[in-house]
Amino acid sequence: MAETKIKPKLSSASQEVLKRRYLLRDDNGKVIERPEELFERVARHVAGSEKNYPKGPGFRKMALKFYDMMVNFDFLPNSPTLMNSGRELGQLSACFVLPIKDSMGGIFETIKNTALIHQSGGGTGFSFANLREYGARVKSTSGVASGPISFMTAFNAATETVKQGGTRRGANMGMLRVDHPDILSFITCKEDNGAMNNFNISVSLTRKFMNALEKDKDYDLRSPLDGKKKGTLNSREVFDLIVKQAWRNGEPGIVFIDRMNRDNPTPKIGEVESTNPCGEQPLLPYESCNLGSINLSNFVSDSQIDWDRLRDIIRSAVRFLDDVIDVNKYPLKEIADMTKGNRKVGLGVMGFADMLVQLGIPYNSSEAVETAEEVMKFIQTEGGQMSEELAKERGVFPNWKDSIYKEEGRKIRNATVTTIAPTGSISMIADASSGVEPLFAVSFIKNVMDKDELVMINPVFLRIAKKQGFHSEELMKKIAQKGTLHGIKEVPEEIRRVFVVAHDVSPVWHIKIQAAFQKYTDNAVSKTVNFPHSATEKDVAEVYELAYKLGCKGVTIYRDGSREEQVLNIGKVNKKETQKAEGPNNGTIRQRAKVTYGRTMQVMTGCGKLFVTINEDRDGKPFELFSVMGKAGGCAASQAEAISRMVSISLRSGIDPKIIIKHLKNITCHRPFGFGSERVNSCSDAIAQALESFMSPPTLGIVKDDKKVAGDVVEIEIQEEIPFEEQKPVKEGYIGGICRECGGPIEYEGGCMVCRSCGYSECG
């Protein structure tokens, strides 16, 4: 391959991701592989399958083709294929589904198999619907069953102890049918944000349930033990509980299980019960799938889609993924048999948002929906035709005789061809937008070592800015701080219209784009529907119902900041307000009265809600300050309390509040929240903003109740209430927490957490 050894053009971010997660290392942890060597390793290993098919183009030709399309970032496979090709582990699949038998032996056999899969770099999906409900009789012990939720805890604990081959962390999908007797406990099992931390959960909604919901009727619960009726629930009440929990912290998601089984190509082989962790790949028990994504941003020339070049890459990508099935080392024989029996592949896309901006199309527009349908229809048609050609060259998949394709008279190599997966790390390698998501940001600030700040700019926007002459370092920093182009007058209006980011897109448009891709996707579409923090439960319900109406197979929603939200315990706050402040009394610090008056303000920070209580003296001046993190405990909470004590001492000592504000304001930590004037840089910045608001209310928000009564808590929201229907930029930003690998901020998109600093991703 020496004559075609093209070196990849890598940004600093791409290099960092490859170095941290993909390139080979020696026994001392030193990187011993260059990026081009990685792609050659993968190309050679996967193309090795071509040697088994004498009618094909051959090993050498396809190894060169595979290398070229990866090194140019036209196509990249899922992370395990990049990591493990040509290595001893050799496990190349991203997603698996394992069955769970209703017996102690069966349950712990699945836990063992889960550990093996996670160790090899894969993620697992399960349906717990076959486990008998809590309280059901157990004949062997004359006892009662503990129910599926208790065993989910065991799966979660096992996952916590397993490191995925040193490169990926275990991820699970847990699903339960809506007609299972324990469904209410399942819906609320992640009410505590720290519970089931290695699980995404989804409720399998049946057609019967959706019909009952439409008529607001009750529906039956059935025991998995014998299928007998075990009571009824009101469909609307159950649906509202799902909505409430999703509104609170994004889980559970919903899956339309009958719709997935309607499209099951091999119903005689098995029934779809679960999906992989991010929800885009419905699989039969013991089935796995190999995924890969075409970078759509590479297929626009002179504001037109290059259909011929796209066709060529589609054909090569389908061949690549079919070859992966042959060279893969499967963690279990049952998985090898089922995977090779159906030969499912999942070809998807990344860079869709980048493609749109190059075409001059806003993401939140009917034209974007039409483009999504046109592009995905082309990929599905061309991919299906390539699979038919492979069937002539290599034969149909072994279970073809029991498939819908035999009934149709269509000979095809792969039971499924297309899947829209989240592209976490691989989209960072390719410098492309993730999956079919909108742009996260046009520009953002990345914190690097020694507290340096690096302004990261969308490459398409950077090219346009330079070409049209409005580029400057000062402007890029301004955009990075604001997070959106709205209100940036230096950028031409037609550019601002096109470069919409995730927080500019209403939930309805998220669903419309998802439905457009789903229309021409064999499997399913992984997509996060983003909501502003101000969204209501009714807003979430409307999107769920719209998703069902438009033909989606599942929905994952996320309301900004909700993962960190906890209910405020008023009693604890009031108790803090009446405690005597500790500190030395040397005659210069004023003593507090037994009763003081003030108000409590809520400020959203990157660590969660911070409730800042400021009380005043008889002259109406701030006298003391207390703060409580909505998320109990932790370093952030202790720091906020320490800052509050020092502020209180300073206020009682007569220091001007303006001086305190000056010294605390704009201190920045690694978990900022929000954009522009609404940005909260840290907990100390939040306290400064609250104190500043107290000095001149209500400049930072809306006072909902201005009565001042001893002990009252008056809430001030530090964001504007934005109606769900309005197409306005959302003023909140969400940072999902701290990256476990580099300590940087992580974001929630495509159904998983992603760190743009080091490339860590739950989903690859």
| Set 113, 156, 198, 276: catalytic member | 276
What kind of architecture, by CATH, is found in domain 98-275? Alpha-Beta Barrel (3.20)
- Ranges in the chain annotated CATH 3.20.70.20: 98-275
- Cβ atoms < 10 Å from Cβ of 300: 19
Say if residue 422's pLDDT is above 80: yes
pLDDT at 169: 62
Here the tokens at position 227 are: 């299928």
pLDDT band at 319 (very low <50, low <70, confident <90, very high): very high
- 654-665 mean pLDDT: 89
Say if residue 742's pLDDT is above 70: no
What is the three-class DSSP state of 201?
strand
Sequence-distant (6+) residues with CB within 8 A of 662 are none
pLDDT band at 390 (very low <50, low <70, confident <90, very high): very high
What is the three-class DSSP state of 521?
coil
Whether a cis peptide bond, with omega within 30° of 0, leads into 697 is no
Task: Select from 295, 270, 281 the least CA-distant residue to 71.
Answer: 295
Cα 624 from Cα 643, distance rounded (Å):
12
Mean predicted lDDT score pLDDT of the chain: 85
Say if residue 331's pLDDT is above 90: yes
pLDDT at 703: 33
| Set 189, 278, 289, 755: catalytic member | 278
Task: Select from 608, 511, 86 the least CA-distant residue to 327.
Answer: 86
Say if residue 563's pLDDT is above 80: no
Say if residue 601's pLDDT is above 90: no
407 is catalytic: no
Question: Between these two residues, 255 and 198, which has the higher pLDDT value?
Answer: 255
Cα 342 from Cα 344, distance rounded (Å):
6
pLDDT at 394: 98
Cα 528 from Cα 615, distance rounded (Å):
41
Instruction: Work out whether the CA dihedral 65, 66, 70, 76 comes out positive or negative.
Output: positive
Least confident of 95-109, 137-151, 585-599, 677-691: 585-599
| Set 16, 50, 280, 564: catalytic member | 280
278 is catalytic: yes
Q: Which 8-state DSSP code applies to residue 751?
A: T
Percent of the chain past pLDDT 70, that is, above it, reads: 83
Cα 614 from Cα 644, distance rounded (Å):
10
Cα 314 from Cα 318, distance rounded (Å):
6
Distances (CA, A) of 31 to 21, 47, 60, 86: 10, 25, 28, 16
Question: Between these two residues, 701 and 488, which has the higher pLDDT value?
Answer: 488
User: pLDDT of 541-555, one tens digit each?
Assistant: 999 999 999 999 999
Least confident of 96-110, 130-144, 456-470, 563-577: 563-577
280 is catalytic: yes
Interstrand relation of 622-629 and 608-616 (parallel, antiparallel or unpaired): antiparallel
Question: Between these two residues, 652 and 345, which has the higher pLDDT value?
Answer: 345
User: pLDDT of 424-444, one tens digit each?
Assistant: 889 999 999 999 999 988 887
Least confident of 187-196, 589-598, 716-725, 750-759: 716-725
Say if residue 125's pLDDT is above 90: yes
User: pLDDT of 623-633, one tens digit each?
Assistant: 899 998 865 45
User: pLDDT of 604-644, one tens digit each?
Assistant: 887 788 889 999 887 778 889 999 886 545 677 778 888 98
User: Do the beta carbons of residue 383 and residue 347 sit within 8 Å?
Assistant: yes
